[in-house]
Amino acid sequence: MIKGNYGRIVNVSSIAAFTGGGRAATVYAAAKAWVDGFTKGLAKELAPHSVTVNSVAPGVIDTPFHVKAATGSFDAFLPLIPLGRVGTAEEVASLIAYLSSDDSSYITGSVFHVNGGQYFG
């Protein structure tokens, strides 16, 4: 990317980086917070080479990860989400696709929250 003077890096973090996670998720939350700090630092390093670096921090998304955490039901999460529903993998993927495109060439060092209003970081 540096040699080509162009690139897009999109890291995936989590809402847990900002909320501290839940019970027994301290290490997970800390690891995701590291991803966001790394994103911001790397964005500064690579900006002179026209490489952008951003992070996407999903909330509760309808994936096997959250299905397992929810023991088969998302009902416990819904009161915490102002939009009243869980997100879809496609909603996260479309943001990642945008951040990977030339249309996002002036966006770097940012963390994007995809969480239905659960957290407004």
Residue 35: give its domain's CATH number: 3.40.50.720
Q: CA angle 93-15-31, nearest 5°?
A: 100
Give the lowest-confidence range in 2-11, 52-61, 67-76: 67-76
Residue 120 included in any domain: no
The dihedral sign for the CA sequence 47, 42, 44, 37:
positive
Q: What is the mean pLDDT of residues 49-73?
A: 81
Mean per-residue pLDDT of the chain: 92
* Domain contains 118: no
Residue 2 lies in a domain: no
Which residues are the active-site residues? 28
Please tell me the total count of domains within the chain.
1
- The DSSP annotation for 39-65 comes to HHHHHHHHGGGTEEEEEEEE-SBSSHH
Q: Which domain holds residue 100?
A: 7-113
Q: Is residue 14 part of a domain?
A: yes
Q: What is the pLDDT of residues 11-44, one digit of tens each?
A: 999 999 999 987 778 999 999 999 999 999 999 9
